[in-house]
Amino acid sequence: MERTPRSVLGPDRAGFAVRAAVFLGVGFAGAAPLVPLADVVARHSPALLPLFGVPIAVLFAAWWFGRQRVREGVTDQLTGLPNRAALHLAAMQAATVRARSALVLIDLDRFRSLNDTLGHFAGDRLLVQVAQRLQSLALDTGALVARLGGDEFAVLVPEPPEESGALLGLARAFAAEVAAPIQFGGLQLILESSTGIAVLPDHAPDAESLLRRADIAMVHAQRSRAGVTLYQPGQEEDTPLRLGLLGELRRALDQGEVQVHYQPKVAFDGSVVGLEALVRWSRADRGPVSPEEFVGLAESSGLMPQLTDYVLEAAVSQLARWRADGIEVPVAVNISPRDVLRPGFAAGVAGRLERYGVPAGALQLEITERLLLEDGQRAAETLEELRGHGVGMSLDDFGTGYSSLVRLRRLPVAELKIDRSFVSRMVADDHDAAVVLCSVQLAHSLGLTVVAEGVEDDETWKRLQGMGCDAVQGWLVSKAMPADQATAWLRSRVTAPHQR
């Protein structure tokens, strides 16, 4: 009797295997429509079963790629951390179950300048290191660490402490982890950050509000240079007011409504050694706006270059008028790191001086110690170019930053200004007096002249004179004056040069 060929597995076993494979496909790739057809083929034509491998493979590949796309949609490609979308989902889940959570938002200060100096590849490596540090610290708390894009990170902490002091301590711990020195390419880098913290449901009822209010707290930390700020009710209301103020400031600059006043600097024999140009703005409907407020707003919004150009134009044109009247006195103008990093800034300053026929030595630019920390080689090149044009430079607010002696020695500055926060308290506080004395001695050892800001009484004048300070600036000498009043004041000093 002839034998009928049989499948190696037999129709029942083969059909079972195919059905099992198809059912696995159903579980992983959505192959449910193939189940009935595969069952019929397994019973009647088992030799055709291998044909099911192709559609199952296609479906499995589609499933795998779909999973990858979902993963990529919630993962930051550079660091491997969850991204903004993932953080938002986690915050939504916490809000849905009303789970108390704290959102710590961390923005790396001046990272763009560091990125430009070291290169984008090196900047990416630094971001990966920051991500790893935050992730390592968060493991102990069960927190979710996310990268929101650029140089901004977030940590969603479950069950945070109740007290505001403890909340700030929590945020400072993450900020300290970011600030720990990083050894990179033979350099030791220290990354500073601004950190805002908001709590669900204390400060926000939902995920969107939580993200927005943590961001508002972070912006306040940047503006106040506090480092870490906890969200406070009312901060959010400040945002539209600031936007309105920014629009008004822009219009005031366009229409020439911002004023430039001049505050004298005098030596101890009463001679005028210079003036500082200080910007003032008064709104017609609401009166004067604090310079700290609108200058800080200009710096954080990108309007600073326009404001600096405005003050430079006013100061240089006033210098030309004074020189035409026989008054030859230098004028100092404050510039920010944003100005120094602008392409062509030094050439623009030189061009403006040439246009008004003012010698470069009549203009002095005041820079701050913050410039030393954040802008590296590009800033140094611009400062050297300015010095090459003959423009003088002064280091402003000395003592409030973190510059080292090496950095100070390499700066192309001829003058050092001691910050008013030390000068105003030096009579009552021996520590501040010691800081002032050391600053004077340090500056003189480097061949720099020293100007003390904020001198408001005779005792401070005498103390500074005894320390060997070269010149003073403050209300004891004169307040900042509009150009016409400054002109009259300067003319009176010609006839009475030793008057204080």
Answer yes or no: are the C-beta atoms of 153 and 147 closer than 8 Å. Answer: yes
Beta strand pairing call for 331-334 and 272-283? parallel
- Tokens 């199952």 correspond to what residue? 56
Which tokens is 90 given?
Answer: 């986690």
As a whole number of angstroms, the distance between CA 252 and CA 247 comes to 9
**Residue 424, SS3 per DSSP:** coil
pLDDT at 461: 96
Distance CA 184, CA 189 (A): 7
Sorted by where each starts, the structural domains of the chain and their CATH numbers stand as: 84-235 (3.30.70.270), 240-495 (3.20.20.450)
CA geometry: angle at 278 spanning 486 and 485, to 5°?
Answer: 15
The pLDDT of residue 4 is 43
**Does residue 201 have a cis bond before it (omega within 30 degrees)?**
yes
* φ, ψ of residue 295 in degrees (nearest 5): -70, -40
Paired sense of beta strands 259-267 and 228-230, if any: unpaired
Query: Which H or E element spans position 466?
Result: helix 458-467
- The dihedrals phi and psi of 4, each to the nearest 5 degrees, come to -85, 125
**Would you give the DSSP letter of residue 160?**
-
| 367 beta partners | 395
- Which tens digit of pLDDT belongs to each residue from 149-187? 888 999 999 999 888 888 888 888 898 888 888 877 667
Count of other CB atoms within 10 angstroms of residue 465: 14
Q: How far is CA 297 from CA 207, 224, 241, 316, 334, in A?
A: 28, 11, 11, 24, 16
Q: What is the pLDDT of residue 157?
A: 93
Q: Give the model's pLDDT for residue 299.
A: 74
Q: Half-sphere exposure (CA, 13 Å, Cβ side) for 436?
A: 32
The list of the chain residues with pLDDT below 50 reads 1-11, 14, 23, 26-30, 63, 65-66, 68-72, 374-375, 401-404, 495-499
Extract the tokens encoding 130: 């920051």
Q: Is the full-model pTM beyond 0.75?
A: no
pLDDT at 381: 82
What is the rounded CA–CA span in Å between residue 206 and residue 92?
Answer: 7
d(CA 475, CA 362): 24
Burial class (CB within 10 angstroms; exposed 0-12, middle 13-18, buried 19+) of 166: exposed
Q: What phi, psi does 423 have (nearest 5°)?
A: -65, -40
* Centroid of chain to Cα 462: 40
